[in-house]
Structure 1
């Protein structure tokens, strides 16, 4: 019996290395809804260009724009300029909420996040353990639904641990097919969406005072597309 390819899973990581926290967030799309999901996001990007002068082709990397570090816009809108001072942090957070609201309202999209904690000195081991547990969870879900999936990740494939995890699966039984496929987030809108899910999950789990403003974003936005409602410890 041939099994259908039912899921395209775009994954990115986040976390707090100094505390040993590792987070993976993802978006999950049926192949026949791929173009609809991407079109919805591109509509958002065009809106961000019209209203905020953020080029459609600019990378939205949450760590940069949410905290006001990156200059994603050609200019700060007047609403975020007070007495001649540009408030890039306020601007970045407004952009993030626009993006999260788009995720929440995108039909055909589901998402999720998992996390683990370990000793900071064992961060690489914690990342490997967390990713392996996540892939195994996908495998169980796919076995139950008798379907296949592909995983797409940010990066260049230089971290061989991800490849090793995929190849450790029994070939005759595996449902996550191939190794993870790598896309540079600078050129992938869908990987950028996964990045935002991962960052928001991290802000919820880590409860870092620096990200206090975002601690309720996950319940407010991504939660509606997450069947578990909250990031799961794995």
Structure 2
């Protein structure tokens, strides 16, 4: 089984994140960039499947040159190789255009199973697995808290607010996972050293048969028109109890339509 894991480099969610003033895109140049947290669970799930059933695990990333840092981090966890789609024309691409690039790259890899995180911490749109599956004409098993592989048959427990749903499909398929599915392993020193020698192939848009006009700002179906910083938190209302504190509290709650 050939498993492709989608990995995205994102600004660290624990630090301040900003948009660029010139084009309203995420400022990745000045950020502390890391692997999207949910993707680490996708990598771990792929490795566990490989350990049980054999096969090959390939990391796939679309991003600028510096995304290679996260690719090597991903490889240090255990995958066999990686593909990095990098092209200056990709800057400003929307989710729709990005899904086209990813689908084209996956098509060239002839994957049996594509695993990704349920969402990225910079976009949080949760649409990428559905878009890729639609473009490839394959099933999408999304929001998995558990994945079982039996030959070419896949079964997931799809996490919901009420519990879970059992969904099945045959390979090839796209599976997105939540952070409840496993506990990602830490890269060992041996794994870190081995990652430096693992194959890392770079592809351009031309290699994928995609024109520059189909991606970036020219090919975007949506754009950020304006942005502003979140306003600082305001001081709350302080009630001094002089015998009527309860009444003042109820009046405040009523004014905010809580009661």
TM-score (normalised: structure 1): 0.37
TM-score (normalised: structure 2): 0.34
Which structure exhibits the higher relative contact order, with contacts defined as CA atoms closer than 8 Å and separated by 6 or more residues? 1
- Give the structure with higher Rg (CA): 2
